[in-house]
């Protein structure tokens, strides 16, 4: 009987095979080194976009839950004008009414027919002498905290509406008296000289920062760019008494639509990128449809119209 011997096999690699394997590994390492920063950058951008999208969605859900307009106010970066990396939740309280009011022009003030000069505020008190005073009965605008202006029920920038219609009168300051408001920002209106107290009024209040909420911050070195007019159109609301000043903010109604400043736009765009990054492939756009409140994330489109993807509603999601 013949015995079949096992065939001997070569174990190991030749020198040429080893050199080829090393060359392939070096080529792969070079490719990884070239593209890894770009991949990491995209992941950081995606995290930033996801965070902003979540902030907006949370504000929209809170508006529905609380039955009050709710949104975000974006705080400008002190070191980079026009750039925003921090936001805070805001909510618009209901209009105030009740009690009675009477009004008269401040003695010695000047009546302007073509519009007043700028108003300046300090600690909630109007410093301009051009104003009208309105005195209310059975109210306390200090909310029981006289001198703590941030807690007052009425703030500079709110508006007074009398007799259920017509124009509104801008509230320029809240004096130390808990029952007196100072009006400014509009020419003096003789209709405010109320012969007898009236209860037919309401005070329309602007959005306030929500108490107990910490500021929200984007990942390190990522910003919402408010300087690129071709991409970003964050709603802007002027602030009474601050020349050329104002807030950038967005406000959702309980139904989900955008209300207030910026609501007239079909969409509101937030342009997000890393500081000093000019490559459009390293930037993204969060778009909010003002009518429906739909929130989507989009790539920046190449060519002359960087918003075309967001405007057409395609390529949603990065």
Over residues 75-131, the pLDDT tens digits come to: 999 999 999 999 999 999 998 877 776 654 444 333 322 233 333 333 333 333 345
Beta bridge partners of 238: 246
Q: What is the pLDDT of residue 145?
A: 76
DSSP state for residue 95 in the 8-state scheme? P
Smallest Cα–Cα separation from 53: which of 226, 307, 309, 285?
285
Query: Among the CATH numbers 1.10.10.60, 3.40.50.740, 3.55.40.10, 3.20.20.70, which is that of 40-92+209-312?
Result: 3.55.40.10
**Does residue 35 sit in helix, strand or coil?**
helix
Q: What value, to the nearest 5°, has the Cα angle with vertex 260 and ends 254 and 265? A: 105
**Which residues, including other chains, have CB under 8 Å from residue 175's CB and lie 6 or more apart?**
125, 126, 181, 182
CA 274 to chain CA mean position, Å? 18
DSSP state for residue 96 in the 8-state scheme? B
More confident residue, 30 or 307: 307
Q: Which of 23-27, 39-43, 159-163 bottoms out in mean pLDDT, i.e. has the lowest?
A: 39-43
Write the CA distances from 169 to 105, 152, 238, integer angstroms. Answer: 13, 18, 15
Indicate yes or no: pTM above 0.75.
no
Q: Which helix (H) or strand (E) segment is 296 a member of?
A: strand 295-299
Q: What is the pLDDT of residue 181?
A: 67
- CA–CA separation, 312 and 251 (whole Å): 23
Question: What is the domain partition of the chain in residue ranges?
Answer: 40-92+209-312, 100-205
Most confident of 21-25, 197-201, 226-230, 236-240: 226-230
More confident residue, 183 or 237: 237
Most confident of 67-71, 158-162, 202-206: 67-71
Q: What is the pLDDT of residue 36?
A: 45
What band does 186 get if pLDDT is binned at 50, 70 and 90?
Answer: very low
Beta bridge partners of 71: 90, 251
Q: Which helix (H) or strand (E) segment is 28 a member of?
A: helix 15-66
More confident residue, 242 or 250: 250
Q: Which of 38-42, 190-194, 229-233 bottoms out in mean pLDDT, i.e. has the lowest?
A: 190-194
Mean pLDDT for the stretch of residues 57-69: 96
Number of alpha helices (DSSP H) and beta strands (DSSP E) in the chain: 2, 19
């Amino acid at each position: 009987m013949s015995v079949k011997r096992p065939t001997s096999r070569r174990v190991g690699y030749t020198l040429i095979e080893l050199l080829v394997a090393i060359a392939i590994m070096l080529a792969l390492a070079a490719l990884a080194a070239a593209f890894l920063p770009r991949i990491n950058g995209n992941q950081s951008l995606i995290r930033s976009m996801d965070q902003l999208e979540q902030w907006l969605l949370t504000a929209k859900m809170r508006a529905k839950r609380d039955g009050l307009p709710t949104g975000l106010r974006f705080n400008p970066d002190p070191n980079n004008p026009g750039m925003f990396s921090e936001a805070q939740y805001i909510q618009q309280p209901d209009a105030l009414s009740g009690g009675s009011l009477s009004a008269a022009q401040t003695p010695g003030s000047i009546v302007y027919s073509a519009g007043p000069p700028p108003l300046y505020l300090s600690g909630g008190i109007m410093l301009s002498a051009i104003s009208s005073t309105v005195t209310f009965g059975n109210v306390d605008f200090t909310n029981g905290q006289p001198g703590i202006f941030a807690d007052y029920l009425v703030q500079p920038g709110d508006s007074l509406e009398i007799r259920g219609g017509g124009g509104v009168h801008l509230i320029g300051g809240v004096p130390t008296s808990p029952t007196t408001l100072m009006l400014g920002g509009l020419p003096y209106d003789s209709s405010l000289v109320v012969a007898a107290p009236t209860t037919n009024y309401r005070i329309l209040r602007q959005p306030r920062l929500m108490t107990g909420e910490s500021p929200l911050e984007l990942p390190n070195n990522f910003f919402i760019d408010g300087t690129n007019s071709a991409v970003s159109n964050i709603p802007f609301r002027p602030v009474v008494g601050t020349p050329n000043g104002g807030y950038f903010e967005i406000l959702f109604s309980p139904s989900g639509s955008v209300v207030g400043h910026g609501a007239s736009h079909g969409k509101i765009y937030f342009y997000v990128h890393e500081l000093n990054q000019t490559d459009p492939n390293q930037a993204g756009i969060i778009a909010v449809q003002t009518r429906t409140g739909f929130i989507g994330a989009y790539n920046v489109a190449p060519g002359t119209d960087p918003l075309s993807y967001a405007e057409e509603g395609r390529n949603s999601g990065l």
